[in-house]
């Protein structure tokens, strides 16, 4: 049985992702697939994750590109066969918190699993979340700590209540997001939300089920299947264009 991160819950069993050994992500259950734009507030801080264009998920399964080279993104077109990429799934099989650092504040604590960072930068708003948690007995800083941690779309950061020992988690529906980061002129990973499980096709191993996860789709991450922010280093462009026009998280 797959491990479920505390504070998360598994999505309806119809939703699942199978990661092929040297090819695409095979998505089952037809979850919604939308662009998600990282957008700033009026102070220029990374603040919102805003909906963009929605893409069809009307076959079973849908093959999504993970080599970064498809000419029909977000879908696979077979480019992985000739692409220069390393498809190996090198991430640890352990849980998110196995190597996390803990930053203790007066009312909240922050867990930080740095190897899962996808460079979304919501953590840098305000005083930066590592400083905000240290002042979490102040209502404003408490709220900011929770907001910053909950907007960590890769799940690297979590805010925990010191009294209950429970994490603060946003209520996210099972869906997929093609993350776009116009501020750094780069496309980013695949945001998997709401506890959709993903497993290796080679042996069926299911990675820890989490409410917030980012999977690599540029093909160059060194912690596959997870996104590790490598896309930002070479400004990977998925060619989908568009702008955020819909609901903001």
For position 178, what pLDDT does the model report?
98
Give phi and psi for 137, each to the nearest 5.
-80, -10
- pLDDT at position 224: 98
pTM summary value: 0.97
pLDDT of residue 1: 79
DSSP string across 52-95: EEEE---SSSEEE--SS--TTTTB--SGGGTS-------S-SS-
pLDDT of residue 221: 98
Which parts of the chain sit beneath pLDDT 50?
A: none
């Amino acid at each position: 049985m797959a491990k479920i991160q505390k504070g998360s819950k598994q999505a309806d069993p119809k939703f699942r992702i199978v990661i092929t050994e040297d090819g695409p992500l095979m998505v089952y259950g037809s979850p919604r697939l939308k662009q998600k734009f990282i957008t700033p507030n009026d102070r220029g801080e990374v603040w919102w994750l805003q909906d963009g264009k929605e893409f069809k998920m009307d076959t079973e399964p849908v093959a999504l590109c993970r080599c970064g080279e498809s000419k029909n993104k977000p879908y696979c077109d077979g480019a992985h066969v000739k692409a220069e990429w390393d498809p190996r799934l090198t991430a640890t099989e352990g849980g998110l918190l196995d190597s996390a650092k803990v930053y203790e504040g007066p009312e909240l604590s922050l867990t930080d699993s740095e190897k899962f960072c996808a460079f979304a930068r919501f953590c840098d708003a305000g005083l930066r979340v590592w400083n905000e948690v240290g002042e979490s007995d102040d209502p404003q800083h408490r709220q900011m700590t929770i907001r910053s941690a909950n907007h960590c779309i890769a799940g690297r950061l979590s805010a925990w209540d010191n009294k209950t020992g429970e994490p603060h988690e946003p209520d996210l529906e099972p869906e997929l997001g093609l993350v776009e980061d116009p501020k750094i002129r780069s496309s980013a990973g695949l945001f998997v939300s709401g506890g959709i499980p993903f497993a290796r096709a080679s042996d069926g191993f299911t990675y820890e089920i989490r409410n917030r996860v980012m999977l690599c789709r540029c093909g160059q991450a060194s912690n596959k299947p997870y996104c590790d922010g490598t896309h930002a280093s070479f400004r990977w462009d998925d060619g989908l264009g568009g702008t955020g026009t819909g609901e903001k998280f």
